Chains A and B, each alone.
Chain A
Amino acid sequence: MENKLLFKPGHTACAGCGQAIAARLVIEASGSNTIIANNTGCLEVFSTAYPESAWNVPWIHSLFENAAAVASGIEAALIYLGKKEGINVIAQAGDGGTADIGLQALSGMWERGHDILYVCYDNEAYMNCLSISSLIMTNHGLKGILDIKVGDEIAAFAQNTHNLVYKKCTGVFDNGIKDVYELRTHHHSIKATSNHPFLVLKRNGRGKKNNFVWKTLEEIKANDEIVTLKRVEAEKSYDFSFHKVEKGDYKVNKINPIEIPEKSSPELLKYLGVYVGDGWVREGRPEVGFALPEDSQERKEFIDIHNRLFKSKLSIDKMYVYAHSVNLARFISSLGFRKGAKNKIIPDWIFTLPENERKAFIDGLMLSDGYKLNDSWRYTSSSPELLKRLRLLAQITGFRVGKMHWQEVKKDRQCVKRKLLKDTGFGYVCMSKRKQPDIDKWPSQTKYRNFLIDNKYFDIEKVTEIKYIGKEPTLDLRVEDEHNFIADGIVVHNTGVQRSGLTPFATNTTTSPAGAQSTGNIRPKKPMPEIAMAHGIPYVATATVAFIPDLQRKVKKAISIKGPKYIQIHVPCPLGWRHEPEATVQVAKLAVETGLYPLIEYENGLLIGRRQIVPKPVEEYLKIQGRFKHLLNNPQELKQIQEIADNNIKKYGLKLEPQVT
């Protein structure tokens, strides 16, 4: 038995990656006396990013299409050295590197009869993310990408009408640690990988219509114009549904009377703005305090609002204003501002409020920790998350916002109205009222400068810079229909998944998308096992990560045979196929059980093994994958796919006949 690991953990495959599972099983079955030639592809990229390698066997990667030829050279060299006996030579690739660009070298290797096992990891397409710090616009306000769940309604850009629409999130994918770049415009910034598509305006010249195209981050240059979010749908005031503690509740003998508003209002939002900058809550005492020095304008305004809203007592001293109310303390705690100057944020629900309430909130913020500088306002805070969200909030509330400036400073430095108590970091953003150009007076000029100037929800901004940040954990979302969403205020696309020769009939990929006029890929899968057999090679088999002992048995069987061998392994890709990472094996199993991926084994041209099934209808396999979602309401297409499955079942005799008693 082998003790050491031959394909080590710590590589950067996605959670649930079928190919990673299969690759490990193949090398474990083959053993340490193996040399691998690997084509370019997902496996090679995530397992060998210099200076690390997951392979504990000799391994070489050359190009996208030549693993079969490189392996031929390795085999020839071993024969020359008299060392071939006892060493397995494996050439492996994805379905693109096998059936498309790699087919020539593979055919040559088969024809020459080299003693090589060729493994094809079939994930049925060519499979590319945002940094985990991205903030996504949903119908419940702004959410961190880590908090997005399948089923959430995500704001998207409708590509035909240029309107703001809400579409369901159909998947969240952890893409692991990747190289991340920051794209900046004057008012937005976002972190993403170089292959992440953004919606860019393509100017087609005088007299011609401009249109939008998706460009990946690496294709975008400074001064390219991208689509950003200007504002959201005018939402309604927020219902708090807060239940007060009353006299007579369990162990409550005495309580200061107070009124807690049921809905949000501009006044309350201004009050809360002041709270974010100057306030704190201690529920135990109970105490809600505000740092508002006496004789300051803020204190006067604040006390006015407090009395009107809450009708409760305040105690004051030189520096501070207090409300000793357990209900007020609990109410404010429930609103999601978090505690501590470095931790405070603007919670999601504020983004869903009507414009006047959002504006009042910003006014409140300015009243506490902001100051006017000529025509613009500057807001300071030691919470970077707060500043980040404030930028986005201000952008959709009719302000122009600059970038966040951050600095680390020493204690005793004067900061707005007080001295710092210790070394700390803080930052500020500047904002000013957005000046609206006169669209009616100068229609063509204003439209030329900003293509979406008369659009209610979206705006065009020029890219100012793109720079490399470093390696960060990344995530991506799948959004139905429009396949885009708004992250950090910028319209971005789902990750791309392009078709290959092994992409099954009717799959929705980015180069064969399902649209109103198309049901996806119009070509059936290239029959690689048949092509292998036409070359007369001694062993051909299909396998899947759903049936592991079968896979390993086939690998072991193959390497025991002299000559060229071909094994094609079905490996679900949660990212590309759009299913849950934990469903990989289940998906693979259904592929077999519906008859869509027959498990067959040929030796010297004769069928010596097949996995028989009790056939399940193809819908069961299709419905759990986002890439086939578009077919579920299309009975014609379903019928065609069921036919493919039925033909497979008939051709290979897959149907398990009931036992005769």
Chain B
Amino acid sequence: MKEFLEGSRAVAEVVRLCKPGVISAYPITPQTHIVEELAQMVANGQLKSQFVNVESEHSAASVVLGAVATGVRAFTATSSQGLIYMAEVLFNIAGMRLPLVLTCANRALSAPINIWNDQQDSISLRDSGWIQLYAENNQEAVDLHLLGYRIGEDKSVMLPVMVCMDGFILTHGMESVDIPQQEEVDKFLPAYKPLYKLDPAEPVSMGLLADPDYYLETRYAIQETFKELLKFIPKVAQDFSKVFGRDYKDGLIEEYFTKDAEKVIVAMGSVCGTIKEVVDELRKKGKKVGLLKIISYRPFPYERICQALKNVPKIACLDKAVSLGAYAPLACEVRAAFFGQKKSPQVISSFVAGLGGRDITLETIKEIFKKLNQKELDLEFMDLKPELLKQEYGE
């Protein structure tokens, strides 16, 4: 049913529909509304979950770890500092193959302290073994949670899923969202049936010490699962479209006017909405431009990107994060995708924008398309303020 509501509330609604048994979170801007909504639902009896108000994000992640290990679906949400604080536990959860959904309300990382949106937090955990899905708008944010539980809890996957939505832009933005019915959700998402759980009837030990004779294979296994996910996610996206009527195609990328494009921007998250506006505008003027939106950042869809963009001469990678001391994260992956391929773009330029919540406007996007006329750019920061970069010497 279509409702006009704040992104955080939409997420709370869909989480309620997924019926997690245990929810545990620690408040941090801009995730707060999500957990406040859920707490209210529990208080009203609309959601029969155990809501554990913990004293830190590290403990929040530990509580949901314990809950999933006991065979119960769980949920948590966080941002920025909280995500990095619980990083240790997140690696632990993935390594122990426990399915979980975590909403990351993308926010910049301290220092300097900044509560506004960029994607540095979730991108910094790209090695952790978590599946990472990025939402362009609040509808996608809702849908990715359903996909997340379904994908992660499948016995062939057994990995946790991070649903990333841009803080404030999506969490605090009001949009028209189709909130599914409980029956639809129940049809798409069966109850969680764990492969193994903590149960006195059948005791198991979890989290053992793996010496050099055993550790390597556990990482290989997760890597192999990610390879299989590139085929599995499209299947689940198909099932999703049958139940809910929204077609995410392969659930990995979205191709927006890329077929005959001469210039394409590759990006993730809410900025894709802005880019689509510019593409529409420029297409009306006859310019052949397009957008490749990445939905699944982990597993990274190298092959699909090559297929979609091999005939596009000029590509811009727009990163809302930076890997200090090296090329930008998304640009690295896209360039790696084309390395050694017979057909690849002539220019793959990298642009970093929007850090710390600096607005990415329609003008910024147009500027990026213009800059693709130049020779290839290793890494270009957009919308820098030169007056802040003047060196000043004290007396």
**Alpha-carbon distance between A57 and B200 when the two chains are bound, in angstroms:** 6
Q: How distant is the Cα of A647 from the Cα of B117 in the complex, in angstroms? A: 56
Q: Are B52 and A73 touching (Cβ within 8 A)?
A: yes
Within 8 A of A (CB), among B350-370: none
- Per-residue interface assignment for chain B, residues 88 to 124, with 1 indicating a CB less than 8 Å from any chain A CB and 0 otherwise: 1100100010000000000000000000000000000
Report whether B59 and A72 are in contact in the complex, using a CB–CB cutoff of 8 Å: yes
Chain A to chain B contacts (Cβ below 8 Å), 11 pairs: A44-B209, A49-B211, A59-B205, A61-B207, A71-B66, A73-B22, A73-B65, A73-B68, A73-B70, A105-B59, A179-B212
Cβ of B200 and Cβ of A37 under 8 Å apart? no
B26-60 toward A: CB 8 Å interface, digit per residue (1/0)?
Answer: 00000000000000000000001110111110111
Q: Give the contacting residue for B55; candidates A34, A49, A51, A107; CB below 8 A.
A: A107
Residues of A within 8 A of B200 (CB): 32-35, 57-58, 87
Q: Which residues of A contact B (CB under 8 A)?
A: 32-35, 37, 44-45, 48-51, 53, 55-63, 65-66, 68-81, 87, 104-105, 107-108, 111-112, 179, 468
**Min distance, Cβ B117 to any Cβ of chain A, angstroms:** 29
Q: Is the CB of B67 within 8 A of A77?
A: yes
A63 and B72 CA atoms in complex are apart in Å by 20
Residues of B within 8 A of A55 (CB): 203, 205
Q: Among A45, A48, A76, which residue has its beta carbon within 8 angstroms of that of B205?
A: A48
Asked if residues B212 and A111 are in contact (CB atoms below 8 Å), the reply is no
Residues B203 and A56 in contact, CB atoms below 8 Å apart? yes
B54, A51: Cβ atoms closer than 8 Å: no
Contact of B64 among A49, A68, A73, A105 (CB under 8 A): A73
Chain A positions within 8 Å of B205 at CB level: 48, 53, 55, 58-61
Q: Contact flags (1/0) for B204-216 with A, using CB distance below 8 Å? A: 1111111110100
Q: Are B58 and A105 in touch, CB under 8 angstroms?
A: yes
A78 to B71, CA, bound (A): 9
- Per the bound structure, the CA–CA distance linking A34 and B21 in Å amounts to 20
A69 to B92, CA, bound (A): 14
Most A Cβ at <10 Å: residue of B54, B206, B208, B212:
B208
Interchain CB contact under 8 A, B198 and A60: yes
CA distance in complex: A73, B89 (Å): 13
A65 partner residues in chain B, CB cutoff 8 A: 58
CA–CA, A81 to B73, complex, Å? Answer: 11
Contacts of A63 in B (CB 8 A): 62, 88-89, 92
Q: Sorted from nearest, which 3 A-B pairs have the closest CB atoms?
A: A73-B66, A69-B62, A108-B55
Question: A56–B202 Cα gap in the complex (Å)?
Answer: 9
Establish whether residues A108 and B59, one from each chain, have CB atoms under 8 Å apart when the complex forms.
yes
Q: Which of B49, B58, B69, B209 contacts A69 (CB 8 A)?
A: B58
- Chain A residues lying within 8 Å of B207, measured Cβ to Cβ, are 48, 60-62
With A61-B206, A81-B21 in contact, do A66 and B67 touch (Cβ < 8 Å)?
no
A50 to B210, Cβ gap below 8 A?
A: yes
Q: Do residues B56 and A108 form an inter-chain contact, with CB atoms below 8 A? A: yes
Place the interface of chain B in its size category: 35 or more
A79 to B74: give the CA distance in the assembly, Å. Answer: 13
Residues of A within 8 A of B92 (CB): 62-63
CA distance A58 to B70 in the complex (A): 9
CB distance from B333 to the nearest CB of A (A): 30
B392 interface hit (Cβ, 8 Å): no
CB distance from B287 to the nearest CB of A (A): 53
Q: Which of A44, A62, A65, A179 has the largest number of chain B CB atoms within 10 A?
A: A62
CB <8 Å contact, A74 and B59: no
- Which of A48, A57, A68, A69 gathers the greatest number of chain B CB atoms within 10 Å? A69
Q: B199 in the interface, Cβ–Cβ < 8 Å? A: yes
B137 CB-CB contact with A under 8 Å: no
CA distance A74 to B21 in the complex (A): 11
With A50-B208, A50-B210, A58-B203 known as contacts, the answer to whether A73 contacts B63 (CB < 8 A) is yes
Q: In the complex the two chains form, is B55's CB within 8 Å of A105's CB?
A: yes
Instruction: Known A53-B208, A60-B206, A72-B54; judge A105-B70 contact (CB<8 A).
Output: no
A57 and B199 alpha carbons, distance in the complex (Å): 8
B62 near A105 with CB under 8 A, answer yes
Q: Which of A62, A71, A80, A468 contacts B22 (CB 8 A)?
A: A80
Asked if B258 is at the interface (CB within 8 A of a chain A CB), the reply is: no
CB–CB A49/B65 < 8 A: no
Contacts of A77 in B (CB 8 A): 21-22, 50, 66-68, 70-72, 74
For A81, what are the chain B residues with a Cβ–Cβ distance below 8 Å?
21, 70-72
Q: A60-B66, A71-B66 are in contact. Are A80 and B49 (CB under 8 A)?
A: yes
Known interface pairs A58-B202, A63-B88, A66-B62; 9 further A-B residue pairs with C-beta atoms within 8 A, sorted by A's residue number? A32-B200, A57-B203, A58-B198, A69-B54, A73-B62, A75-B66, A104-B56, A105-B59, A112-B53
Give every chain A residue within 8 A of B65 (Cβ-Cβ): 62, 70, 73
Closest B residue to A468 using CB positions: B212
B206: chain A residues at CB < 8 Å are: 59-61
Residue of B nearest to A33 (CB): B200
Name the residue among A32, A33, A56, A76 with the largest chain B CB count within 10 angstroms: A76
Among B22, B88, B208, the residue within 8 A (CB) of A76 is B22
Distance in Å from the Cβ of B99 to the closest Cβ of chain A? Answer: 14
Q: What is the bound-complex CA distance between A33 and B211, given in angstroms?
A: 30
How far, in whole Å, are A104 and B208 apart by their CA atoms in the complex?
Answer: 24
Whole-angstrom CA separation of A350 from B204 in the bound complex: 56
Give A657 Cβ to nearest chain B Cβ, in Å. Answer: 44
B15 CB to nearest A CB, Å: 15
**Chain B: which residue is nearest A72 at the CB level?**
B63
> Across the two chains, which residue of chain A brings its CB closest to B96?
A62
CB–CB A80/B50 < 8 A: yes
With A57-B203, A112-B52 as known contacts, state yes or no: A62 contacts B70, CB within 8 Å.
Answer: no
Determine the distance from Cα of A69 to Cα of B207 in the docked complex, in whole angstroms: 15
B66 touches A51 (CB 8 A): no
Asked whether any CB of chain A lies closer than 8 Å to the CB of B79, the reply is: no
Within the complex, the shortest CB–CB distance from A252 to chain B, in Å, comes to 62
Is B24 interfacial (CB-CB < 8 Å)? Answer: yes
Contacts of A32 in B (CB 8 A): 200, 203
| B 11-27 to A, binary, CB cutoff 8 A, 1 in contact else 0 | 00000000001101000
B56, B70, B199, B214: residue with the most chain A Cβ atoms closer than 10 Å: B70
| Most chain B CB within a 10 A radius of its CB, from A32, A72, A77, A179 | A77
Contacts A55-B205, A87-B200; A66 near B50 (Cβ below 8 A): no
Contact B209 A76 (CB under 8 A): no
Q: In the complex, A636→B210 CA distance in Å?
A: 48
Closest to A60 in B: B206
Are A73 and B24 in contact, CB atoms less than 8 angstroms apart? yes
Q: How far is the CB of A331 from chain B (nearest CB, A)?
A: 50
User: How distant is the Cα of A33 from the Cα of B214 in the complex, in angstroms?
Assistant: 30
Q: Is B58 a contact of A76 with CB atoms below 8 Å?
A: no
Contact B58 A66 (CB under 8 A): yes
Alpha-carbon distance between A657 and B53 when the two chains are bound, in angstroms: 48
A71 to B92, CA, bound (A): 15
With a CB–CB cut-off of 8 A, which chain A residues contact B74? 73, 77
Residue of A nearest to B215 (CB): A50
Question: Do A74 and B66 touch (CB < 8 A)?
Answer: yes
Interface residue from A34, A35, A50, A104 paired with B209 (Cβ < 8 Å): A50
Interfacial chain A residues near B209, Cβ < 8 Å? 44-45, 48-50
Asked whether A69 and B63 contact (CB < 8 A) given A58-B203, A112-B53, the answer is yes
**Does B52 lie within 8 Å of A49, measured CB to CB?**
no
Q: How far is the CA of A580 from the CA of B164 in the complex (A)?
A: 57
CB distance from B42 to the nearest CB of A (A): 11
A56-B48 Cα distance, complex, nearest whole Å: 32
Residues of chain B with a CB closer than 8 A to A87's CB: 200
B214 and A50 contacting across the interface, CB-CB below 8 Å? yes
Q: What separation, in Å, do the CA atoms of A71 and B69 have in the docked complex?
A: 10
In the bound complex, residues from chain A placing their C-beta under 8 Å from that of B64 are 73
